[in-house]
Structure 1
Amino acid sequence: MTLSDAKVRLDLNNPVFQDNLFGLQKPERHAALDTLSKIRRLTWLQVYRDPGLKWEKISSVRPPPGIDAIYSLRITQARRATAYREGDFMRFLTIAADHDSTYGRK
């Protein structure tokens, strides 16, 4: 099994991510939870290729020390989350209030 064949494991423990998630209106929160449930069932290769998730490297934001890159992915129809990969884990950081703020623009 290669790294991209591994099932994705989720890390939802970041307090900012939790505040963002729990602060969503109920329909959007449910949509976000549906997306997280979907991601749990995917391999990393499937995440990279999934047209609905749109996993994209964010070049406009410098990642913190020890993190190679930060990525954005569609978590609901209107919102994107930021996350990074560490081994099999997708470690979530934020859910952006709007699309542009995901990329450090506003």
Structure 2
Amino acid sequence: MARNVKPELLVELDLNSPTFQSAWNNLELIEQEKAIATFEKIMQLTWDQVYRDKGLRWEKIHSIQAPKGIQVLYSFRVSKSIRGIGFREDHFLRVLLIQPDHDAAYGKK
């Protein structure tokens, strides 16, 4: 085992965005439960695992310009009917929005 190798940190979530909170409050309870399960899963992963996880379908969004101060936005699968939009900042996933409609998450509507 190599010495002085830092263990990879697990992903932490920031769900404090007002836009996220508003969308969260409008979800049905069953959808909130599915989202909680996904968020719990994410917090057990390292960033490398998040990028490779086929269930999350982590991908860069090209059709929406990131807000000022954010380099790139990403989309990820929260449930079969919900996608999340957020960005990475250090070891945090800052979730800006959850969107029940997949196409709307990409700005296609």
Matched, 1:60 2:93: no
Determine the structure 1 residue equivalent to 2:75: 72
Query: Which structure has the larger Rg over C-alpha atoms?
Result: 2
**Which SS does the other structure have where 2:75 is aligned?**
strand
Q: Any gaps of 5 or more consecutive residues in structure 1?
A: none
Determine the structure 2 residue equivalent to 1:28: 31
Determine the structure 1 residue equivalent to 2:96: 93
Matched, 1:13 2:24: no
- What do the CA deviations read for 1:21-58 (whole angstroms, capped 9, x no partner)? 22111111100011001101100000000000001100
CA distance in 2, matches of 1:51, 1:25: 25
Q: How many residues align?
A: 104
- Structure that is richer in helix per residue: 1
Determine the structure 1 residue equivalent to 2:43: 40
Q: Which runs of 4+ in 1 moved over 2 A?
A: none
What is the TM-score normalised by the length of structure 1? 0.93
**Which SS does the other structure have where 2:33 is aligned?**
helix
**Which SS does the other structure have where 2:79 is aligned?**
coil
What is the TM-score normalised by the length of structure 2? 0.90
RMSD: 1.1
CA distance in 2, matches of 1:74, 1:13: 19
The percentage of counterpart residues that share the same residue type is 46
